[in-house]
Amino acid sequence: MNWNPSFAGLTCFSCDTPHDREVLQTVCTKCGMPLRADFQLQRGALRREALAVRPRSLWRYAEVLPVPAAEAVTLAEGLTPLVQAEDAVWVKDEARNPTGSFKARGMTMAVTVARKLGAKALCAPSAGNAAGALAAYGAAAKLPVVVAMPDDTPRHFVEEGKLYGAEVKLGPGTIADAGKWLKANGPKDAFDVSTLKEPYRVEGKKTMAYELWEQFDGELPDTILYPTGGGTGLVGMWKAFGELQTLGLIGAARPRLAIRETRGTAVAIPEAEIEAQTPALARRTGLDICPEGGAVWAALLRLRAEGFLRRGERVVLFNTGTGLKYR
C-alpha cells in the first residue's frame, strides 16, 4: 500500500506500543486502548497558500493524512461552511457532508485504509448517522457492509443503510448491545470500524480542526462547542491542534474543548431543552439543525448564563448532521 511520506506508523495512545501499519489493526494488542497514527512533521511543510489550488474536500490536507488522495474512497467530504449565528458565533455545518453528517469524515479514511489493507467486508454498530456513512462508503469501495442498530433507532437511519446496500440488523437495547450482538453473531470476515476500535476514523475527523484553522485565516476560535457521542471528533481535533503547532502554524494556545487540558467543560442538556433550541437555532440561521446542533446551542446559552462564556469570545458550534433524518 502507498502511504503518505509523513505517516510514520501506529502506536498505542496509552502505552506507546508500536503496531504494524501494513496489516489491519483494531486496538492495542498489549493494553486494549486505541491506536494513534503518528506523523513526522516538519515546520513549514503545510502552507495555507498551497491549499488554494487543492481539491475542495478534506483530502486537501495531504501532509497530515496517512493515505494519498489518489488512493481515497471519497464522496467529496469535508470543507463544510461556517455560518454566522450572531456576532462572534458561528455554526460549522456538517450537514453538508455526504450522507448528511460528520460521520463521512471518519468513514472515508477508515474505509480507504481497510480496503487497501485487504478487508473483504465491513461492520459496525450504530444508533444513527454512522450506519448510513459506512453503508455509503462501503458501496463506493465495493465492499459488503453489515450494521447492527437498536430497534428504536429512527426509521430514516435504518432505511438509509439499506438504500446503500448494507445488511441492517435490529435488536433490543442500546448501541452497546448492538455492538455485543455484532461481535457474537456478525460476519467473521468483516472488519469492525466501530468508534475508536480502529485507528483511522480519528484521522478523518481531525480535519475539522484543520478546516477551522483555514477558515479563521490561520487562527483558531476561542471555544468550540461539540456534541460528544463516541468522542472521535474531540480526540481528532485535539490531535490536530498538536500537529498544527508542530508544523509551526499555531502557538501553544488552544480553543477551550476538552475538560482538563484546555480548561473546558462538559454540559448535559435535557431532551426538553434540545427540543426547544433545535428550531430556535434553525430559525436564527436558516440551517437544517439536527438535535445535536440544538444541544450545543442550548449549551451556549447555559454557559453564558453561568459566566463560563463571555460575549465577544469567538465560538464555533458544531451542527453534526441534517435534521431531516429525525422528521
Give the domain CATH number at 163.
3.40.50.1100
Residue 244 lies in a domain: no
CB atoms within 10 A of CB 305: 9
Residue 257 lies in a domain: no
The whole domain housing 166 covers 103-192
> Is the Cα torsion angle 303, 305, 309, 315 positive or negative in sign?
positive
Amino acid 1: pLDDT: 73
How many domains does the structure of the chain reveal? 1
Provide the residue-wise pLDDT of the chain in tens; the chain has 327 residues. 799 999 999 999 999 999 999 999 999 999 999 999 999 999 999 999 999 999 899 999 999 999 999 999 999 999 999 999 999 999 999 999 999 999 999 999 999 999 999 999 999 999 999 999 999 999 999 999 999 999 999 999 999 999 999 999 999 999 999 999 999 999 999 999 999 999 999 999 999 999 999 999 999 999 999 998 888 999 999 999 999 999 999 999 999 998 888 999 999 999 999 999 999 999 999 999 999 999 999 999 999 999 999 989 999 999 999 999 998
Residue 63 lies in a domain: no
Q: Distance between CA 80 and CA 233 in Å, rounded?
A: 15
Residue 18 lies in a domain: no
Query: Could you tell me if 71 and 111 are in contact, meaning their C-beta atoms sit under 8 angstroms apart?
Result: no
**Total-model pTM:** 0.96
